[in-house]
């Protein structure tokens, strides 16, 4: 059965939200007050996930987001007219939050194969045939890229197209990753002293200082 990648791309992109008013947290912004246990449980139930322990504790005891006393800026978890979500974040795919986050090694071969199938103009008899083939390939590529961040929240905007991901679903739940696809086309784990950094250790540190480029 042939996949209609154009339709799949349209369906997949609907998982992103553009209706969480506000901007991502920036230095100088005020931290939001903590959430109550009732609010956290409501958010988890609506989103279909369980927040990693250290992030959950942070939400409950310190702040829902913004900039805290240690200078950590993160997108604020809040309830708007659209429901629970992260303020100013238009990258998290809410439809994919319940799908396990994939380690980059798990799709490297598939990505190489997909890149190798990019249509070339000399393989088609006319421009229309080439454009149609390329549009279908591009839609498949878009879906492939979107699924790379399944089960993860864009917890921090690092500027210049970079962002920090907090994994909320799957075997890597609680780990932090750096979306560096804006330049190096890679999603990289954040490490401290040669091991994965925890959420508490990440607070107050710069994500770019924790990336093994």
Task: Give the angle 29-160-22 at the CA atoms, nearest 5°.
Answer: 35
Per-residue pLDDT averaged across 101-107, rounded? Answer: 98
Structure confidence at residue 105 (pLDDT): 97
Structure confidence at residue 29 (pLDDT): 57
Structure confidence at residue 212 (pLDDT): 80
- Which of residues 24 and 4 earns the better pLDDT score? 4
Task: Give the angle 163-102-191 at the CA atoms, nearest 5°.
Answer: 55
Cα 175 to Cα 42, 83, 121, 133, distances in angstroms: 23, 25, 42, 38
Per-residue pLDDT averaged across 37-60, rounded? Answer: 98
CA distance 135 to 6: 8
**Owner of token pair 């990693």:** 52
Structure confidence at residue 180 (pLDDT): 96
pLDDT higher than threshold 90 for residue 18: no
The bridge status of strand 83-86 relative to strand 73-74 is unpaired
pLDDT digits (tens, 9 = 90+) for 112-141: 999 999 999 888 888 899 999 999 999 999
Phi then psi dihedrals of residue 165, to 5 deg? -110, 140
Helices (H), 88-213: 108-116, 127-147, 199-202
Spatial contact of 96 and 169, defined as CB atoms under 8 Å apart: no
Spatial contact of 72 and 203, defined as CB atoms under 8 Å apart: yes
pLDDT digits (tens, 9 = 90+) for 19-39: 655 555 554 456 799 999 999
Per-residue pLDDT averaged across 92-96, rounded? Answer: 97
Cα 119 to Cα 116, 143, 199, distances in angstroms: 9, 17, 42
Structure confidence at residue 126 (pLDDT): 86
Q: What is the three-class DSSP state of 19?
A: coil
User: What percent of the chain is modeled with pLDDT above 90?
Assistant: 79
pTM of the model: 0.91
The bridge status of strand 187-189 relative to strand 83-86 is unpaired
Cα 125 to Cα 53, 115, 122, 133, 138, distances in angstroms: 57, 21, 8, 12, 19
pLDDT higher than threshold 80 for residue 90: yes
| The two structure tokens encoding residue 174 | 């609680």
Structure confidence at residue 20 (pLDDT): 56
pLDDT digits (tens, 9 = 90+) for 155-209: 999 999 999 999 999 999 999 999 999 999 999 999 999 999 999 999 988 899 9
Structure confidence at residue 200 (pLDDT): 95
Structure confidence at residue 66 (pLDDT): 81
For residue 155, count CB atoms less than 10 angstroms from its CB and return exposed for 0-12, middle for 13-18, buried for 19 or more. buried
């Amino acid at each position: 059965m042939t996949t209609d990648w154009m339709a799949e791309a349209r369906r997949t992109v609907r998982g992103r939200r553009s209706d969480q008013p506000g901007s991502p947290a920036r230095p100088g912004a005020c931290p939001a007050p903590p959430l109550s246990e009732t609010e956290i449980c409501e958010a988890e139930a609506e989103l279909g996930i369980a927040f990693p322990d250290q992030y959950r504790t942070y939400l409950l005891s310190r702040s829902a987001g913004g900039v805290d006393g240690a200078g950590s800026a993160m997108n604020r978890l809040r309830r708007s007219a659209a429901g629970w979500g992260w303020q100013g974040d238009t990258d998290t795919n809410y439809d994919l939050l319940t799908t396990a986050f994939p380690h980059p090694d798990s799709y490297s071969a598939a990505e190489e194969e997909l890149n190798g199938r990019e249509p070339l103009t000399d393989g088609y008899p006319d421009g229309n045939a080439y454009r149609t083939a390329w549009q279908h390939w591009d839609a498949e590529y878009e879906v492939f890229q979107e699924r790379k961040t399944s089960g993860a929240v864009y917890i921090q905007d690092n500027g210049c197209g970079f962002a920090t991901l907090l994994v909320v679903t799957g075997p890597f739940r609680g780990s932090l990753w750096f979306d560096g696809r804006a330049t190096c086309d890679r999603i990289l784990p954040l490490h401290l002293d040669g091991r994965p950094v925890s959420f508490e250790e990440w607070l107050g540190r710069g994500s770019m200082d924790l990336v093994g480029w």
